[in-house]
Amino acid sequence: MTILTLLGVSFIGALILAFVGDRKFAPEINIVCSFATFVASIVLALRVYHDGPFVAGREFFFIDAFSVYLVVLTAFVSMTTTIFSKPYMRREREHGRVGHWGMRFYHAMFQLFIFAMFLCLLTNNVGVLWIAMELATLATVLLVSLYKTPTAIEAAWKYFILCGVGIALALFGTVLLYFAAEKVLGEGGEALLWTNLSQVSGQLEPTVLRLAFVFLMVGYGTKVGLVPLHNWLPDAHSEGPTPISAVLSGLLLNIALYALVRCKVLVDGSLGTHLAGNIMMGFGLLSILVASFSMLRQKDIKRMFAYSSIEHMGIATFAFGLGGPIATFGALLHMLVHSLTKSSIFFTVGHASQMHDTQEMSKIRGLIRGNPLVGWGLMLGVMAIVGMPPFGVFTSEFLILTATMKDAPLMTPFLLLGLGVAFAALLRRVQPMVSGHIPSWQHPLKASHVPVILHMVLILVIGLYMPDFLSRWFHMAVELLK
Amino acid sequence: MTISLAAQINSVLAALILLTAFGLLVQRRIYGLLHLFAWQGLFLSISTAVVGFVAEKHHLYISSLLTLTLKVIVLPYILHVLIMRLKIHKEIETVVNVPTTMLIGIALVIFSYSLTSPIRDLSTHVTKSTIAVALATVLLGLLMMITRRHAVTQIIGFLSMENGLFFAATSATYGMPLVVELGVGLDILIAAFIFGIFFFHINTAFDTLDVEQMARLKEED
């Protein structure tokens, strides 16, 4: 029932907003829908917390600690994003960047995107997971090109083509997985269910699984934004509207990583080797290094933070690849805190670029004097994302580093190098933006501070003290991912 | 119809699908591409029906019908309308390095055969010899998207990749579960509307559908 509420509210919300998305009350509908899904996600999480994982709807849905924590995160971040997007999109509309149809489209596609992500997380079927992932891509493609400027269209086209190709390869991997599963489980829909696959994982044909994983890795890895498959990501993040950058970075990358981790657990579980984990570690480390050095040379503020997302997804992928209880715990925590921190950064970045009418970092100055909450929000957000204590990212990166030193000591210097370069690159750019005098071209802005404050408080709480239920929850997920 | 005869018919159809994939790789006329793509869909649809008949898997008939409506009628029609509206039906694209592209294509086919050999050894299906062709079609579609610079051509390459995936599903596993095939079909349909909108956007923003023009987003030094 709660599952149907989650999916139904976002889907019906998308339908309604397709007709009334340009009205004055449309942002409120958007907020109410997201709030309702958030409440439903909490109910679902409590049920998993008390009763453990369960299947529903004739085995069509499968919910365990791993997926439900991402459901809550998705619902929460999408809710705060709708609150942020209300004043942001109103201003974009006043400045003529989006019209009537654009607003309808924006609101409807936003909810459809949320629907697709929930479907990814809740489904028990590997094939449906693929379909929902493709749907999430398609829903966001036209949002990236919402402003219809040549660069926005270029970015969206690149996103469409690269992710289309990537995800097509993931489908081939899914076909191979089905081929291996069908031998053991027989034909029909049952052979593609996670619950059935994990039961028979020891009997699946290893050569086919290995091949399948390579395709799945390339396919879903493109969506995670792992180097060298990351080319679409900085463009799509920098050219789309900021609320979309926030959900792309904070949520969609997580969902793709979720799919990848599920495949990895299945493949490594049945092969009895560490092949999938090693591949993920390689991709992860490469992403950390390339992304952190790329951050050094960015001029566009959203582009820089897009590279930072690649870096952090690299860290999480690396940690999942490393395996072991501490690294997996760290990776789960990292997905959570990165998502909260990065979306909060994108909120402040959106306000900052609206105050200066540009995304060029050299023209953004004097934020703290201009608007203390935006300025401090950005400063603290960046301190958090580079891994300074006492914020949550510090905790997760510390756990991952400890596990790396223990299990793969040779990787530690590379990991530290990446983190160090990212630290330098971000602080060097952000410090002049927040400090100094107010430039003449800056104008005041009515910003929505609630989402940023909410996110920052959460990251701080997680960094200082891990609530009991959260750590128990993560331990449940770690057990599943062994 | 005996099994061996059906397997032979299926092999012929696989060869035809591969042939059209190579044709797509070097066809310069937009309209020619559209026709080749429709033919490829038709071969795929017949092949799916033949496999469904031999293996007595009735859901494959639905899949075959889906391919027929989607890949032979609806998508070519949408593309036809778009090409007419955008007035690009006479456009001829310059294709560079045809011999090299062909050679790479042949290498991809050989690569597909070697890559799928473990699957062929394991499979008990009558269609097992065509899995390599399916993978080759996917990779040739990918190659087409890399080498060609026209937006419509890239989309046809993308759809040809999808054809390869459907073919792979039929030959490796007698088709994916029905819910998955229908979902994939729905996604393709949504994608068709999206690239339709895109063609107009690209055309207004750049005055051409040549994606070579899109080179503004680069890493700055």
Residue B213 lies in a domain: no
The gap from C-alpha B210 to its chain's centroid, in whole angstroms, comes to 21
Residue position matching structure tokens 């076909």: A175
- Cβ neighbors of B6 (< 8 A, separation 6 or more) are B50, B51, B53, B54, B126
Beta strands in A147-276 (DSSP E): none
What is the distance between the alpha carbons of residues A233 and A252, in angstroms, rounded to a whole number? 11
DSSP H helix total and E strand total for chain A: 20, 2
The region that residue A252 occupies, defined by phi over 0 for left and psi between -120 and 50 for alpha, beta otherwise, is alpha
Q: B142 to chain A: which residues are within 8 Å by CB?
A: 165
- Specify the pLDDT at position A72: 95
Among chain A residues, the shortest Cα distance to B183 is held by: A131
Within 13 Å and on the Cβ side, how many CA atoms surround A384? 31
Cα-based distances in Å from A200 to A64, A149, B173: 18, 51, 18
Among chain A residues, the shortest Cα distance to B155 is held by: A161
Which tokens is A338 given?
A: 């990165």
Residue position matching structure tokens 């509307």: B193
Query: For residue A55, what are the β-bridge partners?
Result: A62
**First vs last C-alpha separation in chain B:** 66
pLDDT digits (tens, 9 = 90+) for A303-360: 999 999 999 999 999 999 998 899 999 999 999 999 999 999 999 999 999 999 999 9
- Cβ neighbors of A141 (< 8 A, separation 6 or more) are A156, A159, A160, B194
Residue B88 lies in a domain: yes
pLDDT digits (tens, 9 = 90+) for A205-239: 888 899 999 999 999 999 999 988 999 999 999 99
Which of B181, B169, B180, B186 is CA-nearest to residue B47?
B169
Min distance B115 CA to chain A CA atoms (Å): 8
Which tokens is B207 given?
A: 């005055």
Q: A192 to chain B: which residues are within 8 Å by CB?
A: 176-177, 180
> Which residue range forms the structural domain that includes residue B203?
3-208
What is the distance between the alpha carbons of residues A426 and A301, in angstroms, rounded to a whole number? 10
Among chain A residues, the shortest Cα distance to B206 is held by: A150
Yes or no: say if B144 and B102 are a contact pair by the CB < 8 Å rule: no
Split into its structural domains, chain B has a count of 1
- Specify the pLDDT at position B220: 55
* Inter-chain touch A160–B154, beta carbons under 8 Å: no
Which tokens is A335 given?
A: 């997905």
Which tokens is B212 given?
A: 């070579």
* Inter-chain touch B202–A153, beta carbons under 8 Å: yes
Yes or no: say if B40 and B21 are a contact pair by the CB < 8 Å rule: yes
- Domain-by-domain residue ranges, chain A? 274-482
Yes or no: say if B14 and B132 are a contact pair by the CB < 8 Å rule: no
Which of B161, B112, B169 is CA-nearest to residue B135?
B112
Tell whether omega for the bond before B99 is within 30 degrees of 0, i.e. cis.
no
Instruction: Output helix, strand, coil percentages for chain B, rounded to the nearest 5.
Output: 80, 0, 20
What is the distance between the alpha carbons of residues B192 and B75, in angstroms, rounded to a whole number? 7
Tell whether omega for the bond before A228 is within 30 degrees of 0, i.e. cis.
yes
Task: Answer whether B58 touches A (CB < 8 Å).
Answer: no
Which of A205, A212, A266 is CA-nearest to residue B124?
A205
Min distance A400 CA to chain B CA atoms (Å): 31
> Looking at the predicted structure, is the pLDDT value of residue B126 above 80?
no
- Specify the pLDDT at position B3: 74
Which tokens is B26 given?
A: 């070097």
* Inter-chain touch B176–A165, beta carbons under 8 Å: no
Task: Give the one of A145, A168, A208 whose C-beta lies nearest to B162's C-beta.
Answer: A168
Q: B220 to chain A: which residues are within 8 Å by CB?
A: 297-299
Yes or no: say if A241 and A359 are a contact pair by the CB < 8 Å rule: no
A-proximal residues of B, 99-138, CB under 8 Å: 115, 118-119, 122-123, 135, 138
What is the distance between the alpha carbons of residues A108 and A88, in angstroms, rounded to a whole number? 17
* Inter-chain touch A156–B173, beta carbons under 8 Å: no
Residue type, A227: V
Which of A266, A261, A192 is CA-nearest to residue A220?
A261
- Specify the pLDDT at position A183: 84
Strands A54-56 and A61-63: antiparallel
B-proximal residues of A, 211-240, CB under 8 Å: 211, 235, 238-239
Yes or no: say if A306 and A231 are a contact pair by the CB < 8 Å rule: no
Yes or no: say if A161 and A224 are a contact pair by the CB < 8 Å rule: no
Which of B92, B64, B12, B74 is CA-nearest to residue B38?
B74
Task: Answer whether B216 touches A (CB < 8 Å).
Answer: yes
What is the distance between the alpha carbons of residues A355 and A299, in angstroms, rounded to a whole number? 17
Min distance B4 CA to chain A CA atoms (Å): 22
* Inter-chain touch A145–B220, beta carbons under 8 Å: no
Residue B215 lies in a domain: no
What is the distance between the alpha carbons of residues A236 and B197, in angstroms, rounded to a whole number? 18
This prediction's pTM: 0.94
Task: Answer whether B151 touches A (CB < 8 Å).
Answer: yes
What is the distance between the alpha carbons of residues A460 and A377, in angstroms, rounded to a whole number? 13
Among chain B residues, the shortest Cα distance to A173 is held by: B165
* Inter-chain touch B205–A149, beta carbons under 8 Å: yes
The arithmetic mean of pLDDT across residues B161-185, rounded, is 88
What is B106-172 written as a DSSP string? HHHHHHHHHHTHHHHHH--STTGGGHHHHHHHHHHHHHHHHH--BHHHHHHHHHHHHHHHHHHHHHH
- Specify the pLDDT at position A142: 87
Q: A155 to chain B: which residues are within 8 Å by CB?
A: 217
Q: A238 to chain B: which residues are within 8 Å by CB?
A: 217
Residue type, A158: K
Within 13 Å and on the Cβ side, how many CA atoms surround A424? 10
What is the distance between the alpha carbons of residues A142 and B77, in angstroms, rounded to a whole number? 22
Predicted ipTM > 0.85: yes
The arithmetic mean of pLDDT across residues B41-47, rounded, is 94
Regions of chain A where pLDDT drops below 70: 188-189
